[in-house]
Structure 1
Amino acid sequence: MNTRNPLHAAGTALLAGVLALAATPALATDIYFRSFSTAAAMGPPADDYGAKLASITDLTLGPAGRVNFVKLPGIPAIPSQFKGDIVAAVGAGAAGGGFDAAYNSGSELNKTWGFLFNSGVPFGPGFDEYLGFLFGKSVDDGQRSGLELLQSILDLNNRNVVVLPIVGNAEQLSGYFYEPIGEAPGRAGIGLEGLCQRNWTLRYLPPGEYTLNRACDDLVARGVIPQKNLKFIAPIPGGGSLVDAVKLGYLQGFEFATPLDDVSSLFNTADNPGTVGVRYVHFPGWQQQFLITWMIVNKQVWNSLNTAQQTLAYSVARDHVLASYGENMRQQGAALRYILEVNRYDADPNNDLVLVKWPRKDQDLMIKSTIAMLNDRVYDATLPATDRRDYKTVLEALRKYVAASDIYWDDRKVDSKIRFEGWVNESGETWQPRFPK
């Protein structure tokens, strides 16, 4: 009988293949990168990628071949000569006054089309579906992947960077507001019509901001509401507390990230969204059904690695997208429970966090607005013509991929409401505990 461990065999094969790729002597390399977030499911996993890559390159190539991505302290400002463009800063490299690498939101890859490689499309593919586009041979009739398409666009525009997707994150919550959009215990929902007419300023990142803005404009154009009063602020990476901004009257609502990230960044001081009044927390995460974040590497720095080191950097990056997604996914339930219970026992029911669902009819309206926004963006003269060309290329590649797969996606999933329904173990313990409403 063959008792050889298949995982050991696969690892041995990988090691042999990597060693065979090392055609030139390996040199230990530390690559210093600028991060963009300290939030639990976004910032720390980038550090984990660096540690994992260092461990695996050390194991397979020896200490002399180790590659280690090392985070620069804090969140250094992008030098002014790059005008806020992190890709330009990395393209210049540390020697040119920028950074040798940066871990960043995919939206920062390009202001026009970067969101398509970051959080995708509102109401669009989920995480597993999007992985088929990113890593599968989804583009040009099976000739290349979405990742290869992205790199080709950056190369076409002489951006002088190599990009690696390294962290995966789950669905976000979709807004902390003063009033509920949908029905809440003892409160009628204001709906999308009410939201658009509120004299509120929101921090709501693109592309969700684009969809909400377009949906409000559509309601005005159709005469459903007399005017739009809702406004948005431009986010400043690393800047200020959203909770303090509400407390000081600068904001009347915001979305941030997943429950795990929100606990680490919004519930880490004496005040939290509930205590400052924005206690209605909304779902589903229609605006961002996943998050994929990226390591951007200066091309000269990348080319200083040998083929084996580059191959392992890519392989560990792909592995870490899945591993980081799994690790943060396992913590989301406990994090959401914490959010909903954090103020429950302080004898002030007016600051309790309440989970609210966006009404289905409003979701339907926003789907239509999303489609119109995506299509109209191709012709938006306020955006650079080259970026609009590239946006159209990516959007069409994604459309074709979705069109080919939708027949399977539509009906493949079990209704979430009936999963684990009534399941108990032999001691009568439930799989699906009920949270008090």
Structure 2
Amino acid sequence: MKKFAKSLISAAVVTAAVAGTTAPAQAADKLLLKTPIAFGSHLPALGTPIVWVADQLKLVSDGKVKMKIYEPGKLVSPKEILDAVSSGKVNSGYSTAGYWQGKMPAAALFSAVPFGPEAGEYMAWLYYGNGMNLYQEMYDTAGYNVKVLPCAIISPETSGWFSKPIEKPEDLKGLNMRFFGLGASVMEKLGVGTVQLPGGEIFGALEKGAIDASEFSQPAIDQRLGFHKIVKYNYFPGWHQQATVFELLINKDTWGKMSKGQQALVETTCKASMTNAIAEGEAMQFPVMQKAADNGVQIRYWNQTMLDTFKSTWDEVVAEKTAADPFFKKVWDDMSTFRSGYDLWEANAFLPRATK
């Protein structure tokens, strides 16, 4: 949760932009975005941001632009959202690009990157680096008929719930674990069998012993799903997901028919949601962590041996993925160049953790 202040630098700009787009939206024809979502709207910071977006679109446009939300599986399943939006079965959808890495390996880089950018840096690369150009290029090149808009972002997740302490790499071998995105490739190299279960299925899998451990999201979200009732060792930091981006996909034919005012309204509301989502996520974690001991949970911080192992293994994964997929390499190289420049700012501008 460090450097939270970086994530708020655009708040004033976003507020002004939302106000500036109100008049065009009011003058345009009515628009209804039918939006299946990948995360239940009851889940804070995962599902709540898109509900906020829907409320704001209606409010700011005086009812001219509306969004109807469909809970996971009610209209299409979370894993079908991209195809459904592209084909026009629905005209929009809310998910995270990491779900599409089986179709487009680089998609994971637009979702969460191990040892990757924190929220402020991630947004800087997306909006003021080359990130958004590459993000849209990925979908266009793969033949998907979608317009992509980052529409929420959260800061670090926890990196796992375990039934026993993990002190050395050998302790991971043979475990079956729910794990998401690029971090799963790291865990597999360390001898972990990984599966990507939706949030609603994780508790049951832990309870039945189908999996031994799991990561999912932030403490407030994990608590809502009840992991602490079964597994008692919760590990930090979230090396695999220092920030996670969520996307609003809009069918490109629908997008093309929208007025410039409607487009601007949706784009700017999603930018506002980026600020709102990270603020919500940051505010709700520490009260849950303060009560961890009451639930018999031990909060653990990975020792240096484990962090070094995760990092060196991630370096191996990157080398393999950049060699295997040219577009993954293109995105990774661009992000890495931006981050190398950003390091000069970060190293000089922010106080070390110990002095805060």
State whether structure 2 residue 307 is matched by structure 1 residue 363: yes
List aligned pairs for 1:15-414, cutoff 5 A: 19=23, 26-38=28-40, 39-58=43-62, 63=63, 66-76=64-74, 78=76, 84-94=79-89, 99-111=90-102, 112-119=105-112, 121-136=113-128, 138-139=129-130, 146-181=131-166, 190-196=167-173, 199-214=174-189, 216=190, 228=191, 230-235=192-197, 237=198, 239-240=200-201, 242-266=202-226, 272-273=227-228, 275-276=229-230, 278-338=231-291, 340-343=292-295, 352-380=296-324, 388-414=325-351
How many angstroms does 1:203 deviate by? 0.6
Supply the AA of the counterpart residue of 1:128.
G
- Indicate how the Cα distance of structure 1 residues 103 and 84 shifts in structure 2: closer, same or farther if over 3 A, else same: closer
In 2: Cα distance, 1:175 partner to 1:329 partner = 19
Q: 1:412-432, CA deviations, whole angstroms, 9 ceiling, x for partnerless residues?
A: 43233442xxxxxxxxxxxxx
Task: Please say if residues 18 and 268 of structure 2, whose CA atoms lie closer than 8 Å, have aligned partners that are also in contact.
Answer: no
Supply the AA of the counterpart residue of 1:164.
L
- Indicate how the Cα distance of structure 1 residues 12 and 124 shifts in structure 2: closer, same or farther if over 3 A, else same: closer
Identity of aligned residues (%): 21
Compare CA radii of gyration and give the structure with the larger one. 1
In 2: Cα distance, 1:110 partner to 1:13 partner = 33
How many angstroms does 1:25 deviate by? 5.5
- Indicate how the Cα distance of structure 1 residues 16 and 210 shifts in structure 2: closer, same or farther if over 3 A, else same: closer
How many angstroms does 1:376 deviate by? 1.1
Task: Please say if residues 86 and 108 of structure 1, whose CA atoms lie closer than 8 Å, have aligned partners that are also in contact.
Answer: no
In 1: Cα distance, 2:208 partner to 2:20 partner = 60
Task: Please say if residues 58 and 66 of structure 2, whose CA atoms lie closer than 8 Å, have aligned partners that are also in contact.
Answer: yes
TM-score (normalizing by structure 2): 0.87
Supply the AA of the counterpart residue of 1:213.
E
Structure 1, unmatched stretches of 5+, are 1-6, 140-145, 182-189, 217-227, 267-271, 344-351, 381-387, 420-437
Q: 1:247-281, CA deviations, whole angstroms, 9 ceiling, x for partnerless residues?
A: 21111111110012112222xxxxx43x42x2111
Q: 1:234-254, CA deviations, whole angstroms, 9 ceiling, x for partnerless residues?
A: 32x3652x2322221111111
Task: Please say if residues 117 and 292 of structure 1, whose CA atoms lie closer than 8 Å, have aligned partners that are also in contact.
Answer: yes
How many angstroms does 1:179 deviate by? 1.3
Supply the AA of the counterpart residue of 2:95.
N
In 2: Cα distance, 1:74 partner to 1:17 partner = 31
- Indicate how the Cα distance of structure 1 residues 73 and 205 shifts in structure 2: closer, same or farther if over 3 A, else same: closer
Supply the AA of the counterpart residue of 2:82.
V
In 2: Cα distance, 1:171 partner to 1:250 partner = 26
How many angstroms does 1:354 deviate by? 0.3
Q: 1:214-247, CA deviations, whole angstroms, 9 ceiling, x for partnerless residues?
A: 3x2xxxxxxxxxxx4x312232x3652x232222
How many angstroms does 1:303 deviate by? 2.1
How many angstroms does 1:153 deviate by? 2.7
How many angstroms does 1:404 deviate by? 1.6
- Indicate how the Cα distance of structure 1 residues 204 and 165 shifts in structure 2: closer, same or farther if over 3 A, else same: same
How many angstroms does 1:365 deviate by? 2.1
Structure 2, unmatched stretches of 5+, are 1-10
TM-score (normalizing by structure 1): 0.72
Task: Please say if residues 85 and 251 of structure 2, whose CA atoms lie closer than 8 Å, have aligned partners that are also in contact.
Answer: yes
Q: 1:95-114, CA deviations, whole angstroms, 9 ceiling, x for partnerless residues?
A: xxxx2211101213443111
Supply the AA of the counterpart residue of 1:91.
S
- Indicate how the Cα distance of structure 1 residues 361 and 300 shifts in structure 2: closer, same or farther if over 3 A, else same: same
Task: Please say if residues 161 and 297 of structure 1, whose CA atoms lie closer than 8 Å, have aligned partners that are also in contact.
Answer: yes
Residue aligned with 1:168, SS? strand
- Indicate how the Cα distance of structure 1 residues 148 and 18 shifts in structure 2: closer, same or farther if over 3 A, else same: farther
How many angstroms does 1:159 deviate by? 0.9
In 2: Cα distance, 1:307 partner to 1:125 partner = 32
Task: Please say if residues 167 and 292 of structure 1, whose CA atoms lie closer than 8 Å, have aligned partners that are also in contact.
Answer: yes
Q: What's the C-alpha RMSD, in Å, of the aligned pairs?
A: 2.6
How many angstroms does 1:172 deviate by? 0.5
- Indicate how the Cα distance of structure 1 residues 244 and 108 shifts in structure 2: closer, same or farther if over 3 A, else same: closer
In 2: Cα distance, 1:355 partner to 1:411 partner = 31
Task: Please say if residues 75 and 238 of structure 1, whose CA atoms lie closer than 8 Å, have aligned partners that are also in contact.
Answer: no
Supply the AA of the counterpart residue of 1:89.
A
- Indicate how the Cα distance of structure 1 residues 209 and 14 shifts in structure 2: closer, same or farther if over 3 A, else same: closer
Q: 1:335-388, CA deviations, whole angstroms, 9 ceiling, x for partnerless residues?
A: 2223x1442xxxxxxxx10011111122112212112211211233xxxxxxx2
Q: 1:41-81, CA deviations, whole angstroms, 9 ceiling, x for partnerless residues?
A: 111211111111221122xxxx4xx21121024533647xx
In 2: Cα distance, 1:394 partner to 1:402 partner = 12
